[in-house]
Every structure is written in structure tokens, then in C-alpha cells.
Amino acid sequence: MATKTIGSAGGRDYATLAAWATYVNALALTAPEIGQMFNDSEFSVAAKVSFGGWTGNSATNTVTLTTGTGQSFIDNASVQSNVLNYVQANGVGISGTVVADYQIAVTGCNFIFQNFQLKVNGAGGGHGINWTGTTGLIQDFIMECVSSAASAELHINSTNMIGQKGAIICQVNNQIGISQLATGVSLYHMTVVCSSGGGTGTGIISSVNNMSVCENCVSYGFSANFSGTCNTSGGNATDAASFAGTGWGTSGQTSIVGATELVSVANGSEDLRRAAGSVNLKAKGVTGGSNPTTDIVGTSFGATPDIGCWEYVAAATQSLFLPSLMNGLDVGGPFFANQLG
């Protein structure tokens, strides 16, 4: 197994994601391969970066793109109080300016992508991630799209793919949050929000083939919350009065109010953490199956989990400890005498 570091500081193995991609794409894998991103500065993607081409991949010979120790938004000391949107100061951030294409393409199989933030700035339909490699996993991520044209932020055309614990923000009203084409795709604890108001796009769409599983996911602010057919669902939530499509709404929550359920759905100042006053997301999720046991920042889900990517944790309170003055007090001693003058 080889672990390579990626970042702009001196001493890193590779300075850019494209440079690490060139290296890893040419490998004949005999063991797991890991790329660790460091938050030395914001990663800039001006031309699409593609991951794929390696051989020898398997369930054990995987390729993982993640963050170095202490480098993710997950690792930030103020993670519980930080806003849940793209803030590069909080951890590794990738800023993409690719126009009319995806910022990142995954064509390789057995690829794992986690612990990152991605901001899509490309005009003219700049998209987020296009995933076509089979048997992949994307988890624990924030994606924010400010692109000015319609786009699918996470486009999955890959069999046996899992997406979980992601926060996706669409700031333009004609965008699609997650688009799925292939068979065997499962989504768990995703929060997908269009913050522009009156969105004309779709939150989660299943096209051509049915979505295999969609559980504990939030689709908010879109013209169509869900579209297509889902084979297995439970604990999903939407601001619409009913679930669109077929099979998405089992044990689901409808008519959720963004200002009550999420900290902020205001365009440009989004915060997709579950709000303290939540009614419809709080402890309304489902368990079992392949649902993860921790949320986007590593907090353990409760016995009945919150819906969405964030499990709410009440702020810690401090109590003043006042031991009884009379407990074991020698009333004839100097303390008592001093009090009496």
C-alpha cells in the first residue's frame, strides 16, 4: 500500500489533484492506494480532473482520495458550531471553475472519495462530479454549486454505488442535486437543498433504472423533490405536500419548513445542520440495512436517527457545583468561628 500527500506546501508528494491523478491512474494495483489532501491552500480545478485507468482493483485493492490527519472540515475544533456549507478555512476545499463540464470525473472502479468540500463555480453549466466507475463510495462531503446554468451536481451512472452523509447546496433554481442512471445505487442520509427559492430543478432524480435504496434523505426547495422510482425507501423528507415519483415516501415527512428544520436555507448563507427546533427531521429516520452509524462529521446516530446528514447534538451546559457547607463541617472549628466574627 502507498499513501501519497497532495498539497501546495513544500514536501508534499504532489502539488495538485491532477498530478496525483496522473500517477494513480497508471497503477497496476496490488494493494490499497491512498491520496491524502492537505489544506495548505484551496485546491483549484480549472480543467476537469479524471480518476480512473488503474488495473488490479478489487474489494481490497481500492483507491481512496481523502484528507490528511486533521485536514478535513470534520476535524475542525469547532465542527459542531461551524456552518455546514463550503468554507475552505474549515478544511480541505476544492474550487472548480470548469465551464460546461464536470469538475471531477470518476471512471475507475473501487474508488472511495471522502471528507472533502467542493465548490462549483463554472459558468455555462459547470457541474460537480460525474461518477461512472462501478462499485464506488462517496461520503462525508459538502458540495456547493453557484454555477449559473442547469446542472446535476452529483451524477451517478455507476452500478453498485453508495452515496452517504453528503450536504449538497444548489444556489441556482434550475439545478439538479443528485441524478442517478445505473442500477444498484443507494443513498443514505443525504441533505440536498435548493436555496434560491422557487427552484425549477429536481432534488433527487432516478432515470432509466430505479434507485435501489434511498433512506433518511432530505430534498428541499426544488420544483420536484424526487423523480422516477425507488425500490426501497424510508425516512425521507421534503418541503412539498407529498412525494413526487414512485416509492420515495415510505415513512417519510412532508411539508417540512426550512427555517424550522435546518439552521439556514437562505441563499448565500446556507447552513444544512439540523436545527434545534426541528419537528420533522428530529429522530424520524429509519435504521437497519446499510445505513451508516455516524453522521457527516462522525457523530453517532441515535437509536432513532435524525433525517439528513446531520445528527443534532445539544450544546453542552455547565452546572455550578456547590457542596453542602454543613457536610462534615466541624462547627467548632475556625471556619465556623470566622463566619460568626
pLDDT tens-digit profile of 28-73? Answer: 999 999 999 999 999 999 999 999 999 999 999 999 999 999 999 9
DSSP string covering 231-292: EEEES-EESSSS--SBS--TT-B-S--HHHHEEE--TTS-EEEEPTT-SSSTT----STT--
At residue 123, the 3 state secondary structure works out as coil
Q: Is the predicted pLDDT of residue 333 greater than 60, yes or no? A: no
Does pLDDT of 325 surpass 70? no
What is each CA distance from 305 to 103, 189, 250, in whole angstroms? 33, 10, 16
Nearest to 118 by CA among 99, 101, 103, 105: 103
| Amino acid letter, residue 118 | L
Sequence-distant (6+) residues with CB within 8 A of 120 are 96, 103, 126, 127, 128, 143, 144, 145, 146, 147, 151, 153
Handedness of CA 12, 102, 139, 209 (dihedral sign): negative
pLDDT score for 148: 65
pLDDT on residue 1: 74
Res 99: pLDDT: 87
Residue the block writes with cell 434511498? 214
DSSP per-residue codes, 87-117: -GGGS-EEEE--SSSEEEEE-SSSEEEES-E
Number of domains forming the structure of the chain: 1
What are 238's three cell numbers?
A: 421534503
Q: pLDDT digits over 139-173, tens only?
A: 999 999 987 665 678 999 999 999 999 999 998 87
Amino acid 76: pLDDT: 98
Q: Please, which residues have CB within 8 angstroms of residue 8's CB and are 6 or more apart in sequence?
A: 15, 40, 41
Contact 306, 312 (CB under 8 A): yes
Domain that holds residue 214: 2-340
Between CA 120 and CA 153 the distance in angstroms is 8
User: Where is average pLDDT lowest: 90-104, 193-207, 219-233, 253-267?
Assistant: 193-207
Bridge partners of 120?
Answer: 96, 145
pTM for this one?
Answer: 0.91
At residue 96's C-alpha, the angle toward residues 94 and 102, to 5°, is 115
pLDDT in tens, 269-287: 999 999 999 999 999 999 9
Q: Copy the grid coordinates of residue 146.
A: 453557484
